[in-house]
Amino acid sequence: MNGRASMKPVHRSTGVCRFAATLRMCALLVGSAISLIAPTPALSQFGIPGIIKSWHAMQRANDAAHFLEQATFGPSFAQDPSDPNYPVSVAHVQALGYESWLNEQFGMPVLYPNDPGVPSVGTNYVSPKDPGTCPNGGICWSPTNLDSTTCGNICSRDNYTAYPLQVQFYTNALKGADQLRQRVAWALTQIFVVSQVDIHLSSWMTRYLQLFDRNAFGNFRQLLYDITLNPAMGQYLNMAGNVKTNVNENYAREVLQLFSIGLNKLNPDGTLRLDAQGSPLPTYGQDEITNFARVFTGWNLAAQLAPGIPNYRDPMVVTSETRHDTDPKTLLDGAGLPGAQNAATELNEALDNIFNHPNVGPFIGTQLIQHLVTSNPSPGYVASVTSAFNTGTYTSGSGISFGSGNRGDMRAVIAATLLDPEARTSPTSAAHGHLREPVLFITNTLRALGITRDAVNYTTDFVLGESFLPTNMVMGQDVFRSPTVFNYYPPDNQMSCATPPNCPLAPEFALQSTATALARINFIYNIVYHRMPTSQPNRPMGTWIDTTPFEAKAAGDANALIDDLNGRLMHGAMTDAVRSIVRDAVTAIPDSDRAGLTARVREAMYLIATASQYQVER
């Protein structure tokens, strides 16, 4: 079912309009129950006839913000077209409409289009320079010191920890304009996992990350090929150096279980296919794994870049055809490879076999939906995304088409995910939505509340990777350092609920414990109250929110402040119950001086950003 993406105002699940079946009924309810609606100062300025028109305008803005919550690391509220964040602002989305905005993002350049390490493609992560020398040995590359090949006493940190990549990640997420690409790339790194826990060098990890920049809007088959031959992946899952006399099954198992088809056969709508007894049907068994493992033999890292410097940069190559298994092999669904073929030929045949399996669309599509929109998509939603994957095209309700028509087209899949009515309209299911994973919680909050003093001075050093934050803020998601190839959380994690075993899927809840729940609150406290400790040299400034722009709205009944924060953080969806709790707490603070206004702003931000209804993006 194709999307009915449009800019028509839709109801949010708050206030009286939750119960309205049609827009017209909602307007009548609005008209007759004005006193029940949380008023905004803007509305009261217009007087009664204007309320309806402005209410719709507010709804359109809220819908645009909600769209941006799914498509970026958080909406910008810039109004001025010359603001660097304007391309990903609520105003710009409203001006363009969703489809045109998607197309604009598909064509948005990367941050470093002329990076010599990735010619003609560019990247969001600066390519490592030729290796220099650390004072105490080891290769040296510092992206914070782009012109130098020596790094001094931060060499270890910048070469052997995730620090430089985490700083780049958060800088890009908080400032970059190609937000959709970054958001999709971040989701893809959680499916095609390589972790710096095991691949220690940031130079290796950079080349791995770069392939998501160029494939996020490309084709899935190309992504599968690129990741298979990526040297970091080759080391992580042992395909590098895999030989026919001592076959290693690690990559064969995970490429099937995690990167493409999963364990059980799926219908196009994501539901399990069942046998006559009602049991699931496995997609493969040990034999298929053994056969794929034999296909993936004979490959290794390409030639050393310099004496002692393994090639982390170029795709793996066939270093020995004699170590490639040339026996016949049977792959998925009985597909036979005849044998007596070279490694590269068999690799492509095997990847084709995987790519063309009917599970790929629903398996990957469901996870993309989970990362961007909701943990519990309906079968119809999944079916639509699968169809976009299978046909390579998606046509929106307004007749705008995305995708080349080739199976695996990522643009079609992304458009199908973001333009589906289930993503664009008020949720009807109690299980809709997803807990903001720590990275999204951090970036959404900072983008909503602001990280700049002015165009030049930021209130953050972008050091937000959790291993470089105080331990009382550790939320369980250390960027690019997943504990295992199974990502920080599994896609089929269920949350605890009152009616086990029928509990909603909630992947991100695998990170939500008593410890991390309080860590989130502590994070908000530290940034809102400017309490994050600094630490030289790694965290020179910390991160905080400048409350000045909000203080004028905090006076009096503070409704302007609460409305503003509601729009920025919750796309207008705050419940009356929480609004009233926040208002009581804020107005209990005297507003007679600047200190009081600051305290009010902080109290409001603290309570709203720690609210469970903000933790869950819905």
Partner 1 sequence: MSIAASRRQFLVHAGCGALSGAAFLTGLGRFGLIQALAQSSAPTDYKALVCVFLFGGNDANNVVIPYTSYADYDRVRGGSGIAISQADLLLINPPSTGGLTFGFHPSFRDGFVSGTAMSPSLNDLWAQQKMAAVCNVGPLIRPLTRADYRAGLARPYQLFSHADQQNLWQTSYASLPRQTGWGGLVADRTEGISGTGQFPVIASISGVTIFSTGQSARPLVLAPAPTALNATLRLLKTDDRDALLRALTADGDAAMPALIQGAAQITSQALAASNLLTDDPLVRTFPNTSLGNQLKQVAKLISKAPQLGLTRQIFFTSLGGFDTHTNQGNIAGQQANLLRQVSQAVGTFYNAMVDLGVSNKVTTFTASDFSRTFVPGGGGTGTDHAWGAHQFVIGDAVRGGDFYGTYPDLTLAGGVDTDSGSGARGRWIPTTSVDQYAATLADWYGLAISDRALVFPNLAQFSPAVLPFMRAPALAIASTSS
Under rule CB under 8 A, which residues in 219-278 are in contact with partner 1? 238, 241, 243, 246-250, 253, 257, 263-264, 266, 269-272, 274, 278
- Contact status, residue 416 vs residue 409, Cβ threshold 8 Å: no
Cα–Cα distance for residue pair 420/400, rounded to 1 Å = 13
Nearer to partner 1, 393 or 526 (CB): 526
Q: How many CB atoms lie within 10 A of CB 499?
A: 6
616 binds partner 1 (CB under 8 A): yes
Give the torsion through C-alpha atoms of 451, 456, 462, 463, to 10 deg.
-110
Q: Between residues 379 and 540, which has the closer beta carbon with respect to partner 1?
A: 379
- Mapped onto helix, strand or coil, the DSSP state of residue 499 is coil
Interaction residues for partner 1, span 17-36 (CB under 8 A): none
Classify strands 336-337 and 434-435 as parallel, antiparallel or unpaired: unpaired
DSSP letter at 458?
B
Quick one: 322 or 496, whose CB is closer to partner 1? 496
In the complex, least distance from residue 150 CB atom to partner 1, rounded to whole angstroms: 31
Residue 129 Rama label (left phi>0; alpha psi -120 to 50; beta): beta
Question: Shortest approach of partner 1 to residue 436 CB, angstroms?
Answer: 10
CB of 77 to partner 1, least distance (A): 24
For the CB of residue 192, give the shortest distance to partner 1 in the complex, in Å: 16
| Of 45, 79, 279, 304, the one binding partner 1 by CB under 8 A | 279
Interface with partner 1 in residues 285-304 (CB under 8 A): 286, 290
Smallest separation (angstroms) from partner 1 to the CB of 100: 30
Which residues are 401's β-sheet partners?
Answer: 395
In whole angstroms, the minimum distance from the beta carbon of 259 to partner 1 comes to 14
SS3 assignment, position 130 = coil
CB of 245 to partner 1, least distance (A): 8
Residue 378 touches partner 1, criterion: CB under 8 A: yes
Q: Both tokens of residue 40?
A: 């905004």
**Which residue number, 209 or 589, has a Cβ lying nearer to partner 1?**
589
User: Please, what sign has the CA dihedral across residues 36, 42, 46, 50?
Assistant: negative
Name which of residues 435 to 454 contact partner 1 (CB under 8 A): 435
Phi and psi (nearest 5°) for 580? Answer: -70, -35
Residues 474-533 that bind partner 1 (CB under 8 A): 474, 476, 483-484, 486, 490-492, 494-498, 500-506, 509-518, 521-522, 525-526, 529, 531
**Whether the Cβ atoms of residue 2 and residue 397 lie closer than 8 Å to each other:** yes
Q: How far is the CB of 279 from partner 1 (least distance, A)?
A: 7
The residue among 263 and 318 lying less far from partner 1, judged by its C-beta, is 263
Binds partner 1 by CB under 8 A, chosen from 3, 143, 392, 433: 433
Name which of 362 and 567 has its Cβ closer to partner 1. Answer: 362
| Residue (51 or 582) nearer to partner 1, CB | 582
CB atoms within 10 A of CB 138: 15
Question: Between residue 358 and residue 377, which ones bind partner 1 under the rule CB under 8 A?
Answer: 366, 369-370, 375-377
- CA-to-CA distance for 71 and 102, rounded, in angstroms? 9
Q: Which of 222, 426, 575, 587 binds partner 1 (CB under 8 A)?
A: 575
Give Cβ neighbours of residue 247 (< 8 Å, ≥ 6 apart): 290, 293, 294, 297, 325
Find the binder of partner 1 among 39, 122, 427, 596 (CB under 8 A): 427
Q: How far apart are CA 451 and CA 461, in angstroms?
A: 10
Q: Considering the complex, state which of residue 321 and residue 492 has its C-beta at the smaller distance from partner 1.
A: 492
Q: Give me the least distance between CB of 303 and partner 1, in Å please.
A: 20
Asked if 251 and 258 count as a contact pair (C-beta separation under 8 A), the reply is no
User: Rule CB under 8 A: which of 403-422 touch partner 1?
Assistant: none
User: Does residue 537 have a cis peptide bond before it, meaning omega lies within 30 degrees of 0?
Assistant: yes
Rounded CA separation 32/45 (Å): 18
φ, ψ for residue 401, nearest 5 deg = -105, 145
d(CA 207, CA 229): 11
Q: For residues 62-101, which are near partner 1 according to CB under 8 A?
A: none
Is the CB of 272 or the CB of 541 nearer to partner 1?
Answer: 272
Minimum CB–partner distance for residue 193 and partner 1 (Å): 12
User: Rounded to whole angstroms, how far apart are CA atoms 116 and 127?
Assistant: 8
Distance (Å, whole) CA 397 – CA 44: 35
Q: Rounded CA gap, 176 and 182, in Å?
A: 9
Of these, 12, 424, 434, 481, which contacts partner 1 (CB under 8 A)? Answer: 434
Q: Based on CB atoms, which residue is closest to partner 1, 210 or 359?
A: 359
Per-residue binding letters, 108-147, with partner 1 (x by CB under 8 A) = ----------------------------------------
Q: How far is the CB of 388 from partner 1 (least distance, A)?
A: 17
Handedness of CA 561, 564, 568, 573 (dihedral sign): positive
Please give the distance of CA 596 from its chain centroid, rounded to a whole number: 37
Cα distances from 613 to residues 237, 514, 517, 576, in angstroms, run: 39, 17, 13, 12
Shortest Cβ 358–partner 1 spacing (Å): 15
- What are 306's strand-pairing partners? 309
* Total binding residues toward partner 1, as defined by CB under 8 A: 95
208 contacts 233 by C-beta, under 8 angstroms? yes
H helix runs in 151-269, sequence order: 155-160, 163-175, 179-189, 202-215, 220-228, 231-236, 250-257
Q: Which is nearer to partner 1, 393 or 487 (CB)?
A: 487
- For the chain, the residue count is 618
Q: Which is nearer to partner 1, 141 or 525 (CB)?
A: 525
Rounded to the nearest angstrom, the gap between the alpha carbon of residue 526 and the centroid of all alpha carbons in its chain is 24
Question: Out of 16, 86, 581, 596, which residue is the one contacting partner 1 (CB under 8 A)?
Answer: 581
Site for partner 1 in 591-610 (CB under 8 A): 603, 606-607, 610
When asked if residue 150 is in the footprint of partner 1 (CB under 8 A), the reply is: no
Question: Residue 78 CB, nearest distance to partner 1 (Å)?
Answer: 29
Q: How far is the CB of 440 from partner 1 (least distance, A)?
A: 14
114, 150, 472, 535: which one binds partner 1 (CB under 8 A): 472
DSSP tag of 469? S
Taking the complex as a whole, the smallest distance from the CB of residue 230 to partner 1 amounts, in Å, to 17
